Structures are given as structure tokens and as C-alpha cells.
Structure 1
Amino acid sequence: MKLQDELPLDHRLRTVYRYGAGLCGLILLVFGILGLIDQLSFFDTTGSNIAGLSSNGLLSVLSLIFGAVLIGAAIIGGNVASTIEIVVGGLFILSGFVNLAVLDSSFNYLAFRMPNVLFSFVMGLLVATFGMYGRVSGGLPHDNPYWRQRHPEHARTTSPDRAKTPALTRGGSHSAPRHP
């Protein structure tokens, strides 16, 4: 079984995934371009100030790479964009923790400072949230394409018009309160 087998192919959430990936990718591309224009030293551990963050040539190139990956995800869209956003968001959060550990050491190859660490956490959470939007939750509505894909037996008995009332469960008569 593959992860993609459980995901719906076409749904309205794809625009959220596209815009989220595009916006975050554009921010990273601008940061990377500003760093390269400033001709920063590639492995300088002290870094230079670019848009309020410390940067060096390596961080600028990595920003361009991840920005391009997110822009590519925005172009592809759909489940691919969602999955890429979740992975990239997780990598940003991991990067925040790793760079926090090496902040004032000679291993600070990306010239991170505390604002960079905070940016990494915020960008990681933002990108991952865009990727998980409407996909990960314990209480997805019944008209959500991910819920319908995971519960095909209930999806057939629950029409989109009645999506707010849960389908009958096996052996029970669970129903939501009716509103006039």
C-alpha cells in the first residue's frame, strides 16, 4: 500500500496547497537572491545581515533550492504539493533545532543567529500547516475528500448534502442532533 493510494486525486484543497507552497517558496527565493546579490562568503560562520536575518553564501543557495522546490510543488499542485510541503516544513523545524544546538560553535556553517532559528521554526510550521490543511485531523467533515477516501463505505451512504450528519456506524444508530 502506498501513501498516494489513500489520497483523493482531485479536490478543492489543492488551491490552498498551491498558494501556500508558492508564497513560502517566493519568500525563500527572495531571501536567497538577496544573499547572492550581496556576494556573501560561502562558508562564513559569522554571516552578513540580509533582510533582518544572518546569511552566508551556503544559506543563500539552500534558500534558493528549497524555494525552487516549493515553487515546483505549487506548479504541480494537489497531493504532491501537500506532501512536499509537509516534508519541507518538517525539515525546516529540524533545521531550527539543529542550528540552535550549534548556534555559537564552529559548526555553525549556515551562519545562523537566534532570528534565523525563529524564522526556521515559523517557516517550518507555516509550510507544514499549509501542507496538512484539510488533510490531517481527527474531526474531518464528511464532505472532506480525505475523509471520503478513507471511509468509502460511509461516503456512499452520506451524500454531500447530508455531510454534516454522520453516517450510520455498524451495529449502532449514531446520529447528530438535527437543526431546523
Structure 2
Amino acid sequence: MELKDELPLDHKLARVYRWGAAGCGLVLLVFGCLGLADALSPFDTDGDRIAGMSTNGVLSLISVVVGLALVAGGIVGGNFASTLNMTVGALFLLSGFAHIFVLDKSANVLDFGMTNVIFSFVMGLVILTFGMYGRVSSRLPHDNPYWRRRHPREAALEARTRRPLPATAPTVTPLRLGRAETPNSSQ
């Protein structure tokens, strides 16, 4: 499976990738800006809280950078936004797993708490889902451009057997109720 398949510019999936990236990026951007506005010290681990999560200056800066990257991906859209969503979503999940092991230890330089770990898992799954939507599945519809790229023979066969609609619709004669007339009947 290749993830470099090209999506048509006007395909409806491009909106899902674009809005998913931009929406998640804005959430991260707000969290990071709130942390930076509090002028937190960079590696402080004393438990400063923003929006119910512990944070410090470095975590706020990382949130702003990732949020800006996702918003930029939303602006670009298309396959770029989808691939960016999948990458950032996977990194969020890995971050959640990594930080669950360093809770209450000196290696917890980003001041992660359990709420941060849960947020990292939830946000990672949301971003990953936006990136994979309509792109990675065992049962994609046959009109999906990714299905057509992965199954070129079947797509070509379907295109050949599909008859184009006529330019004008055929004329349908209305049914007459009453006395039946036959073409050979004389008057």
C-alpha cells in the first residue's frame, strides 16, 4: 500500500483532511498560546496548569509549533494534510506511551501528568482518524480514488462495463386507461 496516491483536487475527502488538520491544530495552538501567555519557565515541573493539564514553557512551545504545522497542513489540504495528520497522530500516540513511563520521574521534562497522557492518546487518535479517513480501509467504495489506484484492473473493468447515460432521456409514452388499442385494429 502506498500513501503517495494522488487525490483529485475536487474530491470530498480533501475537505475532511483540511478541516481535521486545521481544527486539531487550532486546539493545540490555543493550549500552547495560553501556556506561553502565562510566561512559564521552560523546564519547570512544579505543576502549572493550563486547561486542566500540567505544562511548562517547552511543552507550550511544542504545542504552538505542532498547532501551526497542522493549520498550515489544513491550508495546503489534500494528500499533504492527510499524510501530515497520520504522522502527527502517530507521534501523539507515541508521546502518550513514552510519557506514561516517565510520570513522577526526573525524566519528565515536559511536566506531563496523567491528564496530558490521556489528552495525547485522544488527540492522537482523532488526528490519526482524520488522516486515514477514506484512505485506509479494507472496504473502500469503488468510486474512491484510493480504491481505483490500488485496484487498476477492477477499476478499468468497471469503467468499461458501465454504460454512459444518454445525452437525452428516452421518451416514455403515458399509459392510457380504458379501451385497449392494437396497431392492427381498423376503425
Q: What interval of TM-score do these two structures reach, taking the shorter chain for normalisation?
A: 0.7 to 0.9
Map of 2:55 onto structure 1: 55
Structure 1 unpaired stretches of 5+ = 163-180
Calculate the TM-score normalised by the size of structure 2: 0.81
SS of the aligned residue for 1:33 comes to helix
The question of whether the paired residues in 2 share the 8 Å contact of 1:45 and 1:106 is answered with no
Map of 1:133 onto structure 2: 133
The question of whether the paired residues in 2 share the 8 Å contact of 1:17 and 1:82 is answered with yes
Q: 2:61 is aligned with what amino acid? A: V
Map of 1:8 onto structure 2: 7
Distance 2:120 2:155 in 1: 39
Aligned ranges 1:93-112 → 2 under 5 Å: 93-112=93-112
C-alpha distance after superposition, 1:97-136 (max 9, x if no partner): 1111101101101100000000000000000000000001
Distance 1:78 1:67 in 2: 18
Shift of the alpha carbon at 1:46?
Answer: 2.6
Map of 1:26 onto structure 2: 26
% identity of equivalent residues: 58
Structure 2 unpaired stretches of 5+ = 163-187
C-alpha distance after superposition, 1:25-82 (max 9, x if no partner): 0000000000000111110123311011111000000000100110011011000100
The question of whether the paired residues in 2 share the 8 Å contact of 1:9 and 1:79 is answered with no
Distance 1:137 1:62 in 2: 31
Calculate the TM-score normalised by the size of structure 1: 0.84
Distance 1:70 1:127 in 2: 10
The question of whether the paired residues in 1 share the 8 Å contact of 2:3 and 2:83 is answered with no
Q: More displaced, 46-55 or 84-93?
A: 46-55
2:173 is aligned with 1:151 = no
Shift of the alpha carbon at 1:137?
Answer: 0.4
